[in-house]
Amino acid sequence: MGVYFDAATAMPPHPVARQAFLAALDDGWADPGKLYTPARRARQLLDAARAAVAEVLGARPDELHFTAGGTDAIRQAVAGVRRARDRRLVVHTAVEHSAVIKAAGDLAVQVPVSLTGRVDLGALETALDSPEVAMAAVQSANHEVGTVQPVAGAAALCRSAGVPLLVDAAQSIGRVALPTGWSLLAGSARKWGGPAGVGVLAVRKGTRWEQPWESPVDVPAVVAAAAALRAVQAEAATEAARLSALVEEIRATVAATVPDVEVVGEPVERLPHIVTFSCLYVDGEVLLHALDRAGFAVSSGSACTADTLRPSHVLAAMGVLTHGNVRVSLHSAVSTEDVRRFLAVLPGLVADVRAEVGM
């Protein structure tokens, strides 16, 4: 089956998620909004899952909403604040996930970032100084390069401006300590080994937000998501140390063994599981296919979905190479041997790709 190195897109399902889902199918299949006995049992399972997830997020259970996925959570956050505050302008970093950028639409102000991907807090403060601003969005950490954002500083600026702050914490939940100071926080269960189609949106009490629509709740899937989150949270500190060491080995080895390469992102304040590097004179899509044939499933920070060849807006905003990029993102099933096999074949594959174009 090869080695899966794309945990930033979706973690492999955690074993406890499958167990919890199958168990919940027996007791959680009924509509939790009804009053008869099977429905009450489904409601109990849903409430228990809500409490478990809320505890990990540092929220109250009544502040937590389950949605139809991470994108749905983002869309509800933005639409709900706009409706409640009767304002439309969204201030967000230039490196937010496309879900945030699409939800904000044309009525948005993008805040620049540094070469390592960290938001410019001075520019954020300036952008917030407008009565038209509905909200701000600053991710906890970047999904392409792993750079951790100064959310505490952004939250202080938002408080001073009287603007609610949305934090997309999809890459952080279950992996690292979550930031504080947010008004709304969103995430996706498939990023922590839960099932796809389950998102979370926490809205602090006192935040002006009106739920724009109600997403259907799949109780067994929510129970599975909560079980997976509890499991990865329990393993988080150990896994963070192990994966961070592997990422550091990738960063150092790639820089030493692949000519004309740039390892991008913040070298210190970064997530423990993501590393992205840019190879000059390389078509990123061709390299990804070559790696796939060699048994390594990786993603790219450049042109990177199956249906588009658009360069990465994240890397463009950082001012680094937007083609020839590889993103490696690790998870608990990845071993040291897996990483070292990847590092052993990578230089030759890059050389082969370059040779094909005469470089």
Q: Which residues are catalytic?
A: 304
Backbone conformation region of residue 331, classed left if phi is above 0, alpha if psi is from -120 to 50, else beta = beta
Q: Rounded to whole angstroms, how far apart are CA atoms 351 and 359?
A: 9
Q: Rounded to whole angstroms, how far apart are CA atoms 77 and 99?
A: 11
Q: Return the beta strands (E) in 172-309 as ranges.
A: 184-188, 199-203, 261-264, 274-279, 296-297
Main-chain dihedrals φ then ψ at residue 274, nearest 5 degrees:
-120, 135
Main-chain dihedrals φ then ψ at residue 186, nearest 5 degrees:
-125, 155
For 92, 170, 171, 299, the CA distances from 226, given in Å and listed in that order, are 29, 15, 16, 27
For 14, 18, 247, 258, the CA distances from 252, given in Å and listed in that order, are 30, 37, 9, 10
Encoded amino acid at 137, one letter: A
Strand order across the 261-264 sheet:
261-264, 274-279, 325-329
Say what angle helices 284-293 and 336-356 make with each other, to 10 degrees.
Answer: 130
Q: Where does residue 235 rank: exposed (0-12), middle (13-18), buried (19+ CB within 10 A)?
A: middle
Q: Which helix (H) or strand (E) holds 350?
A: helix 336-356
Q: How many CB atoms lie within 10 A of CB 276?
A: 30
Tracing tokens 């979706």 back to the chain, one arrives at 10
